[in-house]
Structure 1
């Protein structure tokens, strides 16, 4: 194999595939990138057996061929190399990287040991606006469970029905749901995409106004743009029937400026670290007070400007669950809808279409002021 390419293009490609390689001591081949040169391009592939990434870059290919070398080491060399062009040449079991001022020789492993990259399967194909789809994923994936006790909660639930695509993430303490409408598909499908895959998707693919293609089959999802393909296994199991926990009516509604709420919650967070992150929202006489107490440090009380309708209520939240939401949504005002101290709370914004966030309050004994 022999080829020449722009260093910046090679850096971009290696940065993408390196996201799924790591220090695998059991299967060292999984730390490698598979490089194939042919037809004026380099095809770079990597896999961790759960997810595979393939990306293409342009190159002047003089001799076709393929090889596999350590991905991170190659990425570090190329990214730190300031020369514009780099020549790639396989010499026996050595892969030589040659530029104007810097040369390197990397040891290869057998291509035959590299796990096969899954091919495309016949499935439901959908084209979506890339920016809209990845923005929607970011609004739900943070709510997925990290604990693998219930594997179905460690993934993003994707459901297509009636020309709509709904995405849901939950860890049983909070739930985020967003729906994309008019997707141009009347088929019905339900899958669970691992949250680890989703987190990589939103980092690997650039948000822009182009289209992304999904190919959904029974056991994998394939995501494509013109340069990059990601193929991931799906999670087996049934997602919980979550609709029944979403209240349909409320006794209290609060509208708050997002920035003011963030500022108040960050103050409260400093005083709640040794109290499991508990903060109290006290709604009384059309006023909102946020209270946080620490046995070690003291207490913080913040009054927040709000528009309040309905009954007085005193309710306790994990401050992390509110702040993580506010970090993911772009709006000026937030609305909280409540039904009392122990009922699920619905949070959203009129500025974001078809998005809801449900958070369960905490049951704790609090002293009344």
Structure 2
């Protein structure tokens, strides 16, 4: 294999692929990046056995075709720190040589046949749906923060992705809060459903470098694939039962608050400073024109702040974990945030944008 590449394009591709390559694995071969030089392109492939990425560089000069399995981190780091405009990659037996100007690096390689063949699968366009890249990335950003991170129900470690009635919907929950966002799409195929690991969704977003590009999304029995002009990503879907999220969303509410989203976030952050990890709660008291936010802890003391609101309903109070509220407000896409609820024991429904809601379960607090 011998190929000449633009250094910046190669650096970008190696960084993206290396981002999913494990630093340590019981299968040492997947700690490497698979290089394949064809007649007119260089392809970079990496996997952690749950997520696989193929990145294609077209603007290259291939003197000799071939494949190589190279140390991912070292290769990416060396190319990143080169100062040359172009980089030459060549293999000789069990070694890869990287040349950039006067700088050279020779690395030991691994037999390419040891790389998992499942990671070398190619995107199948038949039956794929098309969506603007920016819209896909926005759905992931709107929901991923609510997915479970701690050990627990495995299905909650992913984003439920649904295609039905010409709508693409994503849902994420950790059992205490729930984010739901959707966007219309031009698709008349059969309904599709998959729980995609959150880290896979985030990797898919990283390869979308043009928000206006139409990307392709493909569902199969055990994986979901995404294709852009330069990259293909495949993620093994999570086999589990996702919570029945629709049952948590209040159908009707008796109390509605509208507040300035930025101001509410500042007030919440201010008051939450006195709360502690074992008593992470703030109480919201709402009346006709005012919201009072109170927090306290036995060790730190107490704090209170107020802000003007528009409110419909009787005077009421409800308590939440302030971190959950701040997560939602950071993702709010409108100047005003709407909170709807029924009583202190019912879920709070936050409207954060068009086709975008966030449900937070209340907690018991003395404040």
Question: What range is the shorter-chain TM-score in?
Answer: over 0.9
5 Å matches for 1:330-341? Answer: 330-341=333-344
Equivalent position of 1:17 in the other structure: 17
Deviation at 1:182, TM superposition (A): 3.9
5 Å matches for 1:110-189? Answer: 110-116=111-117, 117=119, 118-120=121-123, 124-189=127-192
**Alignment partners' CA distance in 1, 2:233 and 2:332:** 26
SS at the partner of 1:273? Answer: coil
SS at the partner of 2:265? Answer: helix
Which blocks of at least 5 consecutive residues in structure 1 are unaligned?
none
Deviations, residues 317-359 of structure 1 (Å, cap 9, x unaligned): 011111111222322110000111110110014xx22111111
5 Å matches for 1:8-157? Answer: 8-57=8-57, 58-116=59-117, 117=119, 118-120=121-123, 124-157=127-160
CA contact (8 A) 2:261 2:332 kept: no
Q: 1:363 to 1:294 in 2, by over 3 A?
A: closer
TM-score, scaled to structure 2: 0.95
Deviations, residues 169-200 of structure 1 (Å, cap 9, x unaligned): 11111111112124322421111111121122
Deviations, residues 121-175 of structure 1 (Å, cap 9, x unaligned): 5864100011011101110111111234211111111112212121111111111
CA contact (8 A) 1:178 1:356 kept: yes
Q: 1:247 to 1:165 in 2, by over 3 A?
A: same
Compare 222-231 and 35-44 and name the one that shifted more.
35-44
**Alignment partners' CA distance in 2, 1:104 and 1:340:** 66
Give the count of matched residue pairs: 364
SS at the partner of 1:277? Answer: coil
SS at the partner of 1:20? Answer: coil
**Alignment partners' CA distance in 1, 2:211 and 2:288:** 46
Match of 1:277 among 272, 275, 280: 280
CA contact (8 A) 1:123 1:217 kept: no
Please say if 1:320 is aligned against 2:323.
yes
Deviations, residues 27-75 of structure 1 (Å, cap 9, x unaligned): 2211110001112211000000001000011210000011011111111
Deviation at 1:231, TM superposition (A): 0.5
**Alignment partners' CA distance in 2, 1:99 and 1:186:** 49
SS at the partner of 2:238? Answer: coil
Equivalent position of 1:205 in the other structure: 208
**Alignment partners' CA distance in 2, 1:120 and 1:203:** 18
**Alignment partners' CA distance in 2, 1:73 and 1:236:** 35
Deviations, residues 226-264 of structure 1 (Å, cap 9, x unaligned): 110000100112322221221122121111111101111
**Alignment partners' CA distance in 2, 1:143 and 1:207:** 26
CA contact (8 A) 2:287 2:311 kept: no
SS at the partner of 1:12? Answer: helix
SS at the partner of 1:248? Answer: coil
**Alignment partners' CA distance in 2, 1:107 and 1:119:** 27
Which blocks of at least 5 consecutive residues in structure 2 are unaligned?
none
SS at the partner of 1:250? Answer: coil
SS at the partner of 2:320? Answer: strand
Deviations, residues 260-292 of structure 1 (Å, cap 9, x unaligned): 011111112211134442111111353211111
Deviation at 1:9, TM superposition (A): 1.0
CA contact (8 A) 2:288 2:311 kept: no
SS at the partner of 2:295? Answer: strand
